[in-house]
Amino acid sequence: MIVSIKNTKYPAVRVRDRKFLFQILDLLSQAIQQFGKTYVQTFIDLNNLKEKMIAIQNLISEEV
């Protein structure tokens, strides 16, 4: 989703992918609450994810 948001030239694709990305982030947040950050980090590099989210911050905060 992050790569798609970053590379697309179509606003509609960005809106669609932003919606899915936020759903995934919500599920990730729930997993961290339930299982703990250390356990989740064995599957997902949370630091890398944070860096990528910061990189596309201006693209996902735009209103269409």
Residues 60, 4, 49, 30, CA torsion sign: positive
Measured between alpha carbons, how far is 4 from 32 in angstroms, rounded to an integer?
25
Q: Give the confidence band of 8 by pLDDT, cuts at 50, 70, 90.
A: very high
Region 15-42: mean pLDDT is 96
Mean residue pLDDT across the chain = 92
Q: Give the confidence band of 59 by pLDDT, cuts at 50, 70, 90.
A: confident
Q: Give the confidence band of 61 by pLDDT, cuts at 50, 70, 90.
A: confident
Region 17-33: mean pLDDT is 96
**Any idea how long the chain is?**
64
- The answer on pLDDT for 5 being more than 90 is yes
